[in-house]
Each structure stands twice: as structure tokens, then as C-alpha cells.
Structure 1
């Protein structure tokens, strides 16, 4: 054998040993979102009509094999950037030690708002780490909500170790950072991305060696509602019309002295035949503080409608575009006026937003008396998809005369064409737009409340004497559950609101549904995807396991088939729905007010162990807004321990007057709100003083579920 052949043979035999000895590195194939750190502006295109100057352009999957994923990507590609609470992924060439993945070895660096440069240099850590054994993909969330329309660089350092304890290497990323190869150099978009990424890395300073990175821009979340508010403010609407009652004698003003109301029957439209279901409005709730509510009235007004038939607010460029009304809706407002002489400027007024599956004929009645006892009127409307169908009516039974019929203002529709109108039907997009979910139903509800604020500003004359009954300079907002969710966005957008109290609010709604009582709805959604993502054998057909840890826990090593696919779907849902997520608006309440707004006095009320809006969703809102000092936590665990009749759920502690054991806590929480508004947001009382059942502010932000067994 010649020397040349011996040398050649030695090299060939040594090759496998060399490959095995090569260190683990992040994969860096920018041909696919799964082949490199993600998110990445590599998967966007230039779009100078957007505040980000970019628009997302993910490659479509096989639409025959993955029709649900395909439909999702079509919607995602209308957005101008990536999730502001992203689940980031980094694929590797081999196994790593997930215990070495921390905020000191992997982090994000803020490169500044694309319009103002605000936030440049802020370092953001990571949380909720998952290592997937089968795919060798690391995933994690940013430790906090990111700023909208802002550039970030994701940094992975060699502080991350492989399973032998060796530092990971730069591999393909190192080559890309050093220079483009011939094929890459011919790709203008890739070359442009490399230049931006290399420039971004210069901002990272000295420290551990960077072995992988990704540059991405977050989406705009508040733009549409900001623009719509300005559109509404440029108009002078017709006043609220209270001449909407029908009696045997003809039309009458729908303004009733509470002392004259024997009952109010709600004839709710529940089917298209049409079919109706009757019940009674909880008028006895006004008696919790006797004699303080003087009048209840009903009036209609017109509000611009931005939703298309698919319950979607069509996308427009976030910088240069303007959302366009597609018509208008006639809405019914319910007003409670305090007893006694009206103040010269009218009564201060609190808008109340009702919860999911409730209506203006539920929750608002439970607060009206306590608010009125502090001289505060209250007003509300049905949210999109709530209150039954549009043919519903109220029959006001009077002591002094015959009944009066009033339009109930139901906003439900028979969306699935099965002949019935369910309690929330019409709130959410379905079909190919199902990833949008209730994002735009919530935003349209905010639009309607912006219009209601404008109606108060131009003058609400309930009794027809020519003078406004509501003070246009003292408008407040409080809302329970879903009302706290859409109400947080309203408070962030509308400068005319002087103070607000979101109650048991939180987000994202993807997190709310997967963590709490609505988890079966999340399972049904996963089961309905094509192909189904259900990954647990269970007779229900909707049980699943996504294997995402709660915050501040050790990394999860995932070996559950299908869990990663579910994680991706949940992340994409949250991404698309961010402009309807209260957490995306929380910073604008006080920390970073939007243009034309000032920091607002707020209180965030929540219950420890809430099973409907679980604590991690509550605290996400509080952390995003920097509102820990403005919290009130109801210790439902202590209340239940003292008297089990209070119940375990905790969610309805503000409105639960019907349960005698729970009613004192409801009245105490309501008194905090009423006192806060009566002082124009200056007085922040503890609902039970030195008692143990309310913490003001909360002693800790609970990141666990804390459900009562």
C-alpha cells in the first residue's frame, strides 16, 4: 500500500470519529422558520405602510395535508410583526443541558421602537423553558411582555452547555456571521438580513461568546383602536334617544322611577324562528343599599361597525392605513341614576362592562346601588355576541300604569346556522379565521364603548328636561371578567376616562382558556383542527397535554408526543390575538401612556385561585403594566376556609350578591370601586380594612394556579 493510499484511508476512517467529536451548536438554516432561531425578520418583507416597516411572510405549509396550519399562516401574514409575548425556539444539532438555559445565557436585547427608538438597550430575560428531546429544539418565552413595533435581537451564548458540560459552539451561525457563501450572497434578502443582524450584534457589548442570534420586530397592537378613537372624536353624534319605549297608549320615554318598577321581564331571543326565552332582570339587587338608585332608563344610539361578516376587522397598514366602518349598529344603553338632586354638571358616571356569557341585564345591576350610594351613575351596553338576538325586548312592569316594552339590544347571531343563538355566539371568528377567535369582537366592543364615551361628552339627557344628566368630565370605567379584559384596552385608548378598575381580568385569552375552567374549549379547538392535535387518549376526545411549565419553574424536558405542535398553535393564536389582549395594553395605563393620554389611576382586582381567569393570567396583566402597587387580591382561600358556602371558584367575588356568604365580600369590593371613583381616583382603600380577606396591595403576585382542592 502506498503512502498516499494509507493517508487517504486514514482520513476516511477518521471522519466518523471527527464528526462525533464535533461540538453541539444551534442550527442556522434560514430556509425555514424551523431551521434557525425564531422569530426572525428573515421571514418578513419590506412594507413601508407599516409602523414596523415590515410585514410577516411565513412560508405556507402543504395546504392539502395541513389545512388548519395553512389558514393560520394566511392570517399571520397580514400582521406587521411578531408576537409581543413570543414563544421563541432554537433548534440544535445535538442534545444540550436545559439547566444551563437561563436569562444569563440566553436573552433578548431591545433595539428600540421603530418610530421613536424608545427602549433601546433594555435587556429582557427568558422564562418557561422547554427542551424537546425528539426534535432537539429549545423553546422559551420572553420574561416580560415586549414593546410593540420594536426591534429585538435574541442572543444565545456559549454559557449554554451540552450534555457533557462543554460549551455549545457557533457552527453555521459563526460562518454566516463571518461572511456569506456564494449562494447566500446571491440572495439579496438574505444578505440584507445578515447586515442588520451583524449590526444588531454590535449593540450587545462584551460578555459571553454569542453562538447564535436572531433579529425580529414585534407587531403593532394598539394602532387600529387609536385610529378609530380619533375617527369617533371627530364626529358629533345624535344624542342618545330615550324615546324608545312602547306602551299600550303609544311611544313613551324609557325612563322609570325605580320605586315604580315592579319587575322587568327579559324576553331574550334565543333562536331564529324566532324563539325566545323569558327571565327576570335582578331588580332586587338595587335594594342592597335601599333608596339610592332613583331611576333606570334605556336609550339607543348608533355606533360605527368595523366587523365584516366573518367577525374580523380587516387589516389595514398600521402606519398609513385607516380602518373603515362597514356600517353602523343601533345599541341599547342601560342607565342608572342616583336618587336626589342632580349635580349642576350632571352625575359622575361609571361605565360597567359585563362578563363572558353575561349581559347588561346581569352584572351591572349588582353594582348600581353601591355606586349610586357614592353619587355615581352607571351605564352599560351589551358586548358583541351577547344579550341574545336583536329581536329581544324588555317588558318593564310598572306599579302606576301598564307595562312598557323596550328594545333589549341583543347582539348575538346564529353564527353556525343551527337555528339557535347561544350566549356568546357572534363574539368570535370561526372557520378559516378561527385563529382570530374573539380578538375583533372584543375590539368592536371597545369601539362601541368609545362611542358611548362620545355620547356622554355630547350630552346624555335621560329625563328630557334639556340638561345633561351625566357629567362629561367625570367618566370612569369598571368591568368584571371579560368586561375587565376589553375594559383594559378601553382605559388605555380613551383619555376621557379618569380612572378605572378592571376586575378579574387577565390575558392572553389563550392562556386563560388552557389554564382554567375553559380548558375544554381549548381542547375542542385542538380536536377541530385538521389534522387534530389531541394527544391524550380520553373518552371526551378533547383531552390534551401541552407540557408548558408555569413561570419561574425549572425547565421541562419534553417527551410527550404532540406537545410541541400544541405549543406552536397556542403561540400562534396568542400572536394573532394580541391586539385584543388586555396585557398588550397594560403598559399604556400608566407606564407608557399612548399619544394624547396621561397615566391613569387604576386598581386591578383579582382573586387568589380564580378558576376562570387563573392567577398567571392576572399577574401577566399586572406585570406588563407595572401595577403591582395598584392591586387588590381577594383571599378566596381564607374566605372559603372560614365559610365553605362562599364557594371555591373566586371569580365572581365582585358581583356575587345572590349567595349570602359571599355578598359581604362583593359589597366590600364594590365599595372600594365606588370610593375610588368618588375621589376621582385618589382614594385607594382596603375593602376590609385590617381584615384578612383582601390584600391591598397584594402581598405577592401569585404565578401558580392556587385552585382550592
Structure 2
């Protein structure tokens, strides 16, 4: 159940069509002494929906399609018109019939629930003098499947306005998948008769060499050994697979069905890998407690070898699987040399040669194609969250060493994930209460904001805008686009660059389309005692403002642990990988100790006590509003 908070104080042809749900008036100069400009159109509005009893909201979006222009933009509109409401963080557009002071005008706009019991102001304000339109976002994330009213209060001697709109049932799709998994319907439809783990091999860490022969279109002829040195030598590696229902089509999307039904049916089953590290010694009665590890973008199950050491010493088994599109191609192999001999085992890689160039890149197969391409990894993330749900339910009773007793317990399975693993881990934790506790390391959202703000990913936003025909800059320091978008908490921005408004609109719509597979959507479903967030100050891969969005959406600040890399000798390094990267020692060990303590018994520890590197909990949420990059020149 979504929790409510006490609120804080606080153009393209397509865009004009979409925001003018009411009368459009041409702006005119304001004469001295005349009434202040009045609002003449407000977006979003339920006027841009049609009634649809097959939807939970009773509505379906109906944006204009007659003059959408470029094919990518037309496809985006078609996808949005399948949803049952507007975004949870909508790009509000208020067009006035004259020039306004953006600060004063923004102060007159508020968003409130139709029952009048909740309201918030706006921020991230943009003023477009060319169309006398003020753009903004609600200061707080809205609830799914809820009707709100945008109110624009009248200025002195003027007239106000407003519109009513309904938000999409953004959590419904993933919750439907979980219900199908719990009922057994997903396994039945997918043809799965035995859902347990299949152990292909178990090996002592001591004396074992594990190599990963990646299939990147051709199989690596000289694979390098994987890191085992940090694991307890008497711990055990277990490799194998498990079957999981799949809802993904070839275009890496999940069918959008009416939200009032039981959701899309699985299209088949996939055999997914697992790699587990078991603690030293014999398993206790019922098996070792289990933590599932979620790896990051471009990474694989092999990262569990870096993530499991402290857990193993703490008596927790750690198991991981691959994200959709990760782990290299299907012909990848584990080459195992152990005291008992040599083995070659499948890795069940999930990489796909989507573009047909003969090469399988590290994340190829994880992004949507076709009309849903602007949603990028929305459904890969939902499918991965569902895969982890299946894994959580499959581990119990697994006999790794074939001695007839359980080595893995299925009771109170926990989760921890890094980066991308923190992102789909937030979705998982919100949607699935079977997961007892989670530690979510450096997550952020939405994905569109991560790619826009991160220097590493910003070229991906450029590529998307190029496909949509929206590039507007030759400035190499900003890629080839300038969006002129303020961060949360910053003052209004006045548009001065042609094409910036169109870019803002495209990004807002792509984010809206992606919201059903985005972590901030599910953060309000997480009970605080079930989670710890670990955030790195100055993260340049998942920027701090995107972590702010996720934590603030669930009001989970009391469960947020801030790693102040700026107070360490590594201050010049991007701290995104501090959980696994030994360059950040002792921060790496401290972070893993915090993970093991919380997964083990729910204790939240401050890894450095009275020292200043860790803030547990974070001292001031506003610390995450800026990018906090070491050099201002790195800001987009």
C-alpha cells in the first residue's frame, strides 16, 4: 500500500496540441494597469483521455496524433495512448495570454488531490517567452491511479484556472507479474513443471580456478581467471540454472494490456543462470540464510564473487543471476579447474545480437526497440525484477553438495544490489514483500535523468534525440543538445536556445512511458524497516539528484546511508563503484559490513562510528540535490 506523506512547503507542434486542452489565446503585450496575464491552457488534463472501463482508472490517454511529425515522436504518442493516465511526475504546462514573472507565477501553481487532503507546489520551472508558457513539475511525486487538480491561483485583479487529470496505474504491471508468480499461473502458462535450482557443479574455493569464456559473437579463446582470492578459502562455489517465466517479446517489451485485467501472460520460459557462494563449514539445519545479489549495468553474475566475501564470513549464502541482455551470449561457458578435475559448464548468457552485426555487446538485448524504444530498459527491468522474484522462491531446499540435506534456506530471503541492481532492486522490494530486507547501493531514477546527467551515459541521450530529430547544438561540451532544464530546487530557467523546449518535451514523454519500470515508482511501497539505501556523494554514474528522486519518493531518508567520498583520499575518483572496488578501501569493506549486518538481522550500523566519512542516516537530504561533481565543468 502506498504511503502518504505530509507535503513540504513548497514547443513543438505536438507539444502545443497536447497542452491546449482548453482555449488557445495568442499572447499580447500587457498594457500598464491592465489585469495580470491569465492562464488559457493547462496540461495535463483529462480532456486528453477517453473513457475506458477496461482500465483501473476508467480512462485511457488520447493525445492528438494527427500532426505528430517525426516517426519516433509518432511512435511515442501511440505508446502513451495505451496508458490509463498521466505521469506520476508530469511536466505541467500553463500557457498564459501574456508575459509573467516565472517566480511569481510558479508560486501560484499547486497540485492537489481532488479530495483536498493533499497538495504540493511546483519546482524545476522553465519559462518559454516565445509561447508565454510556464513549465514545471510537482514538488513531490504523485500517487498512481489518482485524480488530481492543477490550480493556478489568480494574481491581483486577475483570473485563475486549472485542470483535472488522472495519473497512470504505473505499479500495476509489475504487481500483476508478481501475482502470477505467486499463484503459479506464470509457471503453468510458461510450461514450467520444476521450478527449483538445478546445480551443475559445486567446488571448493581453495584450489579452484574459474574462467569465463565469453560469447561476444565469437567465444573468447583465452579467458582470464575470475577473482576468488577475497572469498574465504573454505567457502563453496555453486553453479547452475533455474527456469523462469518470460513476458518479454523480441522487441524487449512486455505487452501493454488493460490495467483492470490480470496482466499479460508469459510468452515462454527461459533457463537462467545462478552463481552462488556458500559460507565455510556445514550448513545449519534448513540451510544457510540466502541473500540474492543484483549486479550492475554492463556487469554479470560474476560480480557475486566480489560481493559475497563479507556475507560468507557472516554465515550468509549469496546467489546471483544475470540481468536481461547481460552475461554475454548464449554460447558462453564456465571453465572450472578444481581439485577434482576440469569441467566446462554453461553460463546461460542473456546477451543478444540485436543489430545483426555479428557482435554481442555487454548490454545488447536489454533495450527496447520499435515504438517503445524511448522506454529504453523499462521492460528489461520489470522482467529482471520478476526473474529475481522467481529466484527468491526457488532457492529453498537446494542441496548443493548432494548429501541429501538442504544447503540453502528459503526463509526470509534478502536482497542487495549495486547500481542497476539497486534500481531493479528498488522495484523488487516495493513489489514483493517476500523479500525480507534489502540494501540498495547507489540506485537512482528515472533512467532518462541518469542518462541525461551522467557524463558516461549522456551520449545515449544524444543518440535518442538524434533518432527523434531533436539535436540543437554544436557545442562539444554538451554533446549535440542543450536542454536548459533546471535541477530540483534550482531557480527558474528562461529558454534561450531554439529546440530546448522540444527536447524537454521528448524527455518528459519518454520518462512518462518508462515510469512503470522505474524505481521511484515503487519506492513508496517499501516499508522503511525493510530497506537501507547506500548513496555515494558525487556519484558521476548515477548522479545524486536521481538518488534523491528515488529516496524522496518513498520518504525513506531515515534509511539512507551517505558515503562521503569527498572526505576520503579518493575524493578525485568517481565513487559509484565503492561497494566492490578495492580502490575505495576501507570504504568497500565498511559498505559490505553494513550490508551483511542489515541482511543478517536487520541491524543498521554506522561503518565508521563517530568518523565523518559515513552519515547514517544522511544528515540533510538537500546534500543530494546538486550533482556534487568534483569539477563544475563536468556538469551537462
State TM-score, norm by structure 2: 0.90
Deviation readout 1:248-297 (Å, 9 max, x if unpaired): xxxxxx11111131x111111101xx44465335333534xx44x51111
Written as runs of structure 1 = structure 2, the 5 A alignment for 1:107-506 is 107-111=110-114, 121-159=117-155, 167=156, 169-170=158-159, 211-235=160-184, 238-244=194-200, 254-261=201-208, 263-271=209-217, 274-276=218-220, 278-287=222-231, 290-291=232-233, 294-362=235-303, 364-398=304-338, 400-457=339-396, 459-506=397-444
CA deviation string 1:303-353 (max 9, x = no partner): 111011111100011112421000110011111110112111211111000
8 Å contact from structure 1 (residues 281, 361) kept in 2? no
Deviation, structure 1 residue 465: 2.6
Aligned mates of 1:609, 1:57 — CA distance in 2: 41
Selected match of 1:589 from 510, 514, 526: 526
Partner residue of 2:44 out of 39, 48, 53? 39
- Measured after TM superposition, the shift of residue 156 of structure 1 is 0.3
Unpaired segments ≥5 residues, structure 2? 1-27, 188-192, 632-636
SS at structure 2 position matched to 1:502? strand
Alignment of 1:668 onto 2:590: yes
Q: CA RMSD in A?
A: 2.0
SS in 1 for 2:586: helix
How far the C-alpha of 1:70 sits from its partner, in A, is: 0.5
Cα shift at 1:540: 8.9
8 A Cα contact 1:534 1:542, kept in partner: no
Note if contact 2:37-2:100 (Cα within 8 Å) is conserved in structure 1: no
Does 2:512 correspond to 1:575? yes
SS at match of 1:260: coil
Rounded to whole Å, the distance in 2 between the matches of 1:48 and 1:417 is 42
Q: 1:428 aligns to what SS in structure 2? A: coil
Q: CA deviation at 1:539?
A: 5.8
C-alpha separation between the residues in 1 aligned to 2:29 and 2:588?
Answer: 70
Which of 78, 96, 105 lines up with 1:101 in the alignment?
105
Cα distance between partner residues in 1 of 2:422 and 2:157: 45
Give the number of the structure whose alpha-carbon radius of gyration is greater: 1
Change (3 A) 1:270 1:695: same
From the superposition, tell whether residues 438 and 334 of structure 1 become closer, same or farther in structure 2 (CA, over 3 Å): same
Determine which of 595, 598, 603 is the counterpart of 2:532: 603
Contact 1:239 1:460 in 2 (8 A): no
3-state SS of 1:423 partner: coil
Q: Secondary structure of 1:357's partner?
A: coil
Aligned to 1:361, the other structure's residue is in SS state helix
**Structure 1 residues 84, 687: closer, same or farther in 2, change over 3 A?**
same
Q: 1:435 touches 1:576 (CA, 8 Å); kept in 2?
A: yes
Q: How far apart in 1 are the matches of 2:325 and 2:141? A: 29
Aligned mates of 1:654, 1:480 — CA distance in 2: 7
Cα deviation per residue 1:186-233 (whole Å; 9 max; x = unaligned)? xxxxxxxxxxxxxxxxxxxxxxxxx11011000111112212112112
Question: 3-state DSSP class of the match of 1:677?
Answer: helix
* Preserved CA contact (<8 Å) 1:240 1:299: no
Task: Spell out, residue by residue over 1:602-658, the C-alpha distance to the aligned partner (whole angstroms, 9 max, x if none).
Answer: 11001111001111001111111111111111111111xxx24x642110011102x
Separation in 2 of the partners of 1:444 and 1:631?
A: 26
In the alignment, is the contact (CA less than 8 A) between 1:24 and 1:168 conserved in 2? Answer: yes
Classify the secondary structure of the residue corresponding to 1:379: strand
Q: Which whole-Å deviations, capped at 9, do the CAs of 1:33-65 have from their partners, x for residues lacking one?
A: xxx2001110111111111111101011435x4
Once residues 308 and 478 of structure 2 are traced to their aligned partners in structure 1, the CA distance between those partners, rounded to angstroms, is 43
Within 5 Å, which residues of 2 pair with 1:15-26? 23-26=35-38
SS state of the match for residue 331, structure 1? strand
Change (3 A) 1:629 1:612: same
**Gap runs ≥5 in structure 1:** 1-15, 29-35, 113-119, 160-166, 171-210, 245-253, 591-598
Alpha-carbon separation, structure 1, partners of 2:620 and 2:524: 20
Offset at residue 123 of structure 1 (A): 0.7
The whole-number CA distance in structure 1 between the counterparts of 2:210 and 2:572 is 29
**Pair 1:649-2:574 in alignment:** yes
> Contact 1:265 / 1:278 at 8 angstroms: preserved in 2?
no
Q: In the alignment, what sits opposite 2:563?
A: 634
Contact 2:212 2:226 in 1 (8 A): no
Structure 2 CA distance, aligned partners of 1:142 and 1:241? 45
In the superposition, relative to structure 1, how do residues 62 and 540 fare at CA in structure 2: closer, same or farther (>3 Å)? Answer: farther
- Classify 1:587/1:168 alpha carbon distance in 2 versus 1 (closer, same or farther; 3 Å): farther
Label 1:24 to 1:708 Cα distance change in 2 as closer, same or farther (>3 A).
same
What aligned pairs does 1:26-65 form with structure 2 within 5 A after superposition? 26-28=38-40, 36-62=41-67, 65=69
Secondary structure, counterpart of 2:398 in structure 1: coil
Question: Given the superposition, is the C-alpha separation of residues 439 and 17 from structure 1 closer, same or farther in structure 2, using an over 3 Å criterion?
Answer: closer
1:251 is matched with which residue? Answer: none
Counterpart contact for 2:422–2:441, Cα < 8 Å: yes
Partner of 1:427: helix, strand, or coil?
Answer: coil
Structure 1 pair 278/566, CA: closer, same or farther in 2 (3 Å)?
Answer: farther
Per-residue deviation, 1:678? 1.4
- Structure 2 Cα separation of the partners of residues 305 and 228 of structure 1: 10
Distance 1:316 1:401, change over 3 A: same
Query: Deviation at 1:24?
Result: 4.6
Give how far 1:541 is off: 9.7
User: Which residue pairs with 2:4 in the alignment?
Assistant: none
- C-alpha distance in 2 between matches for 1:464 and 1:308: 37
TM-score, length basis structure 1: 0.81
Contact 1:360–1:387 (CA under 8 A) maintained in structure 2: yes
Secondary structure at 2:281's aligned position in 1? coil
CA-CA distance at 1:234 after TM superposition: 2.3
Deviation (angstroms), 1:584: 0.4
CA distance 1:151–1:379, change in 2 (3 Å): same
Change (3 A) 1:410 1:240: same
Aligned position for 2:190? none
